[in-house]
Structure 1
Amino acid sequence: MVLFREGFLTRSQINYQLVFIQQRYLLLKTTHLKLCKPSVDSEGFKLKTILACLLVLAVSIPLSNAYCVRQPSKPELSDGKIVGCRDLNGELHELDSQWRTDSCHDCSCSEGAIDCCSSFSTPSDYDEENCVSIFNKETCTYKVVEKDDHSKECPVHEWVG
């Protein structure tokens, strides 16, 4: 196990994080390379185009820090065709469908797996001595408020997820 700020991550959680980051990086890299092919007009324009693409890539990666989990799933078959996936609760979801769970995770069904990503960010850098974070399951958001007066919000300097 590895200590990670406020708790411990298991090896499998770290592996899920690494796989997600690698997948996200490859997706962003291929998308930006397709969109940002340098022009052959002039060397100056080529350099500006490459720099713009690198800037877009650099800004995009930190913005995509939600955690995701891939759950292998035995495909549901009908007449020999894959029609969907069963989640951990036994509920059948249509192939290529998307849904939000009660625990605020956005999931999708693909052949052989269910992918779920957090739909929320968790406050991690705030005054924990005087403030408390409260999770709203209906909006899937956290609010950080003073412990003594929940009508007063506290500043949050860092969000994770």
Structure 2
Amino acid sequence: MFSGCFDSKKELHKFGSKWRTEDCLDCHCSKDGIDCCTAFARPVGYDEEKCVNIFNKETCTYKTVEKDDHSKECPVHEWVG
């Protein structure tokens, strides 16, 4: 009998353990199996004609910036995730 859960990479995680995947999912192992959810919110309330979202996989965050000048951040009014 196993004392944990195997993830998609065949790595064993102990029951009760939590981890973040390289795809920015927060996961938890229980006797019922693995439960994962996104570790980030996605911006949706912004000027889509003027701005673009850039995802940082290192920090699992989005930055919304002007398409023509990535040094200028755009206001975001709504997030989902």
The reply to whether residue 156 of structure 1 matches residue 76 of structure 2 is: yes
Structure 2: state its 5+ residue gaps.
none
TM-score normalised to the size of structure 1? Answer: 0.49
Taking the aligned partners of 1:148 and 1:91, their CA distance within structure 2 comes to 43
Taking the aligned partners of 1:115 and 1:91, their CA distance within structure 2 comes to 15
Higher CA-based Rg? 1
Once the two structures are TM-superposed, the CA of residue 98 in structure 1 deviates from its matched residue by 0.6
TM-score normalised to the size of structure 2? Answer: 0.95
Q: How well do the aligned residues superpose, as a CA RMSD in angstroms?
A: 0.9
Match of 2:41 in 1: 121
Q: Deviations over 1:46-75 (max 9, x none)?
A: xxxxxxxxxxxxxxxxxxxxxxxxxxxxxx
Structure 1: state its 5+ residue gaps.
1-76
Q: Percent identical across equivalent pairs?
A: 67
Q: Which has the higher contact order (CA 8 A, sep 6+)?
A: 2
Tell me which amino acid in the other structure corresponds to 1:112: D
Higher helix share: 1
Once the two structures are TM-superposed, the CA of residue 112 in structure 1 deviates from its matched residue by 3.0
Higher strand share: 2
Q: How many residues align?
A: 81
Structure 1 segments, 4+ long, off by >6 Å, are: none
